[in-house]
Amino acid sequence: MASNRLQMEDINKAQKMLDLSLKSAIEAEDLVAKIALSGKIKTQQLLTIEIENLFQEMTDNFQAGLSSDINFSIAMVDNLPKIKADPDLLKACINALLDNAKEAISEKELDNQEHREASIDFQASVLDPINQLCSVCHKPIHNQQLQITISNSGEQINSEILDAIYEPFFTTKKSSQQVANTTGLGLTLVRSVIHNHDGHLLVESNQQKTSFTILLPVVE
């Protein structure tokens, strides 16, 4: 019996070491990918693209890996306009915001949302010029824009730190496990990519939901 118990303990230790090694490898791969993406920003290739198929592919892939406890809704208007963008960089930005939305709804929050459904929403539409400032550069937003909004029902981001969320290595994650799973570069890269596309970012957070919006100029 004692021998069997020791064998089980050895197996459990080996499994933990394997899990840690795998986790470290995934984190390293993620960091390398983000560094490579940072380099690609300098050599971006802006193409005139139709984005319906790109959005559909991305949302399908995201939904396939999402927990069944989280409701994922997609709302896109018909005949979305063309934009000029680097498809790979735009996909990286949207994936980063979708991943952030998923991480914002932790298992603890899922357990505590007794009266509110855990949800992530993806919306794409056209926005006419608005009397609003970009949350990053604080410049007014002109001309017609393609609007991509990703919202989640996770915990509210304190208004006092909203201006800091795009800074390198800044994170709103509270638990040590969540911090260990992030490089803190996601929103920084999103900011760089979108501004290099002459676009803007908006963020809004309240007790009901947190929303990140990408605005990109429409090709006329």
Q: Do 63 and 37 fall into the same domain?
A: no
Share of the chain above pLDDT 70, in %: 65
Q: What pLDDT does 110 receive?
A: 57
Cα–Cα distance list, 19 to 7, 9, 23, 26, 173 (Å): 18, 15, 6, 11, 22
Q: Do 169 and 213 fall into the same domain?
A: yes
pLDDT at 89 over 80: yes
Q: Which CATH number is 175's domain given?
A: 3.30.565.10
Cα–Cα distance list, 97 to 6, 94, 194 (Å): 45, 5, 12
Give the pLDDT band (50/70/90) at residue 45. confident
Q: Do 109 and 34 fall into the same domain?
A: no
pLDDT at 131 over 70: yes
Q: Strand pairing partners for 152?
A: 120, 210
Q: Do 117 and 142 fall into the same domain?
A: yes
Q: How far apart are CA 148 and CA 123, in angstroms?
A: 6
Q: How far apart are CA 161 and CA 60, in angstroms?
A: 32
Mean pLDDT of all residues in the chain?
A: 75
* Lowest-confidence segment of 4-18, 87-101, 136-150, 195-209 by average pLDDT: 4-18
* Lowest-confidence segment of 88-97, 138-147, 168-177 by average pLDDT: 168-177
Q: Do 98 and 61 fall into the same domain?
A: yes
Q: Do 103 and 203 fall into the same domain?
A: yes
Q: How far apart are CA 172 and CA 160, in angstroms?
A: 12
Name the residue among 44, 39, 35, 34 with its Cα closest to residue 196: 44
Domain boundary among 9, 25, 43: 43
Q: Can you tell me which residue has the tokens 């963020």?
A: 203
Q: Do 54 and 33 fall into the same domain?
A: no
Q: Do 165 and 61 fall into the same domain?
A: yes
Q: Do 94 and 116 fall into the same domain?
A: yes
Query: How many domains does the structure of the chain reveal?
Result: 2
Q: Do 98 and 35 fall into the same domain?
A: no
Domain that residue 121 falls in: 46-217
* Lowest-confidence segment of 65-69, 153-157, 180-184, 200-204 by average pLDDT: 180-184
Mean pLDDT confidence for 71-94: 92
